[in-house]
Amino acid sequence: MQHLARWRQAGLQTPRLALNVSPRELEMPGRRYISALLDGLSEHKLSPDQLELEITETALLRNPLLAREQLRVLADQGFRIAIDDFGTGNSSLELLRTLPVHRLKIYRTFVQSINASPQDQTIVRATITLAHGLGMECIAEGVETIEQPQLLEDLGCDLFQGYLCGRPMELVDFEALLHQARSEADPAASPAVTPPTFTPVHHHRIGEGATVPSTFEQLDLLRMAFDTADDTFLLLQVHLRHDGHVDDLLILEANQSACRYMQQEREAIVGQSMLSIFPQMQHNGLLDLFIDAAENNTPSTITDFAYQNHDLFKDNRCYDIQILPTKGFLVVSWRDVTERFRAARSLAEAAALYRLLTENIVEVVALLNSSEQVVWVSPSLQPMTGWQQEQ
């Protein structure tokens, strides 16, 4: 990053820098790797979109749920994400379509024999089609002959890399290449164009010895708050069919209350379909409420919803549920209000019984408010005094 910042300050037009990401870095506790990246960018006054993070397909398979969570956070911050050496692992299409990937890089083995092997050509064509269908760019690795680029272009490949473009070089040689590119673009040696500036994120003091937490520290604090909350929280991704209607709801995040409720660890819950855990949603009307909120982008609040006949619950329970749709996702929270519902029902039953008793006794019973005004009187008032209840 230090070199990238220096080149930009010198007015050199630098390409996006690609960094290899190892599984160990993604698995660092507390998202330390992500925090270190953001701190480095802030220190050198760079923006995340100047970096492209490459992770191999085999590294994704080591811990796919964790990798997906980390990559989503990185993509949300503005980093470009690329899958390197695609074709060497056994990643599922389900995993691939849920990853925030911008580029798919075809493994060099399939590219090197593309002109001589119909099988490799078929694999490359299918990979390009897959990448474009998922909204990704496709890059072919290992291009070394002049025949390969033309065939890749005919197949629709966006970019290629390999020895035909250039071999690895020392830092000083790369800097010379950047200076040469600027000279060719500006033969008159006009003053260097000031590169675009980006506002770094700084820690501003709000008190003696106190600083504003970084973005990921704030996220960790927020997650901690959610995890200690009694209410159950879920983040759902809305999967749509080709006709625009909801096909499925995928669980992306769950707090500890939700994990206890579902009697599973977070790692086992994340990535599952909501219907696989709560199949009764299809029959009790709850799924329709979720779909309506997602398709119409309308928040919904349901009170005293009775959820019946579920394996997780020993008896019928009652819930207050909130559904908040936002950009293809649903934030869902619910609270078990069974005891409140039962208490309210018991109170209503007791009130009805008390009213029944007072309507059938000889004595006059009156109910006064705090201002000593009569708000209700028993029917026995009329035969005793001749007054109507309305009077």
Report the C-alpha gap between 286 and 308 in whole angstroms: 11
Report the C-alpha gap between 87 and 348 in whole angstroms: 66
Listing DSSP states for 147-202 in one string gives HHHHHHHHTT--EE-STTT-----HHHHHHHHHHHHHHH-TT-PPPPPPPP-----
Report the C-alpha gap between 5 and 313 in whole angstroms: 58
Report the C-alpha gap between 244 and 133 in whole angstroms: 16
Q: Which residues contact 288 (CB under 8 A, 6 or more apart)?
A: none
pLDDT over threshold 70, residue 301: yes
**Would you state the structure tokens that stand for residue 250, as one six-digit string?**
């995928």
Between 281 and 217, residue with greater pLDDT:
281
Of 247, 254, 221, nearest to 333 by C-alpha is 254
In this structure, of 8-22, 103-117, 122-136, the range with the lowest mean pLDDT score is 8-22
CA atoms within 13 A on the CB side of 271: 19
Contact between 103 and 80 under an 8 Å Cβ cutoff? The reply is: yes
The domain over range 2-185 is classified in CATH as 3.20.20.450? yes
Which class in CATH covers the domain with range 221-338?
alpha beta
DSSP run (H or E) holding 130: helix 118-133
pLDDT over threshold 70, residue 79: yes
* SS3 label, residue 296: helix
DSSP 8-state code for residue 285: S
pLDDT over threshold 90, residue 151: yes
Residue type, 219: L
Q: To the nearest whole percent, how much of the chain has pLDDT over 70? A: 81
Would you list the domain boundaries of the chain?
2-185, 221-338, 359-391
pLDDT category at 125 given cuts 50, 70, 90 is very high
pLDDT category at 111 given cuts 50, 70, 90 is very high
Contact between 364 and 371 under an 8 Å Cβ cutoff? The reply is: no
Q: CA Rg, the chain, in Å?
A: 32
DSSP 8-state code for residue 50: G
**Would you state the structure tokens that stand for residue 146, as one six-digit string?**
């002049």
pLDDT category at 263 given cuts 50, 70, 90 is confident
In this structure, of 40-54, 115-129, 181-195, the range with the lowest mean pLDDT score is 181-195
Q: Which residues contact 248 (CB under 8 A, 6 or more apart)?
A: 239, 273, 274, 275
Report the C-alpha gap between 379 and 363 in whole angstroms: 9
* SS3 label, residue 97: helix
Task: Average the pLDDT over 102-106 and give the result.
Answer: 93
pLDDT over threshold 50, residue 209: no
Vertex 162: Cα angle to 159 and 168 (nearest 5): 125
pLDDT over threshold 70, residue 341: no
Mean of pLDDT over the chain: 80
Listing DSSP states for 204-236 in one string gives PEEETTEEPPPHHHHHHHHHHHHHH-SSEEEEE
Q: Is 374 left (phi over 0), alpha (psi -120 to 50) or beta?
A: beta
Report the C-alpha gap between 365 and 359 in whole angstroms: 9
Report the C-alpha gap between 138 and 158 in whole angstroms: 5
pLDDT category at 105 given cuts 50, 70, 90 is very high
Phi first, then psi, for residue 314 (nearest 5°) are -75, -25
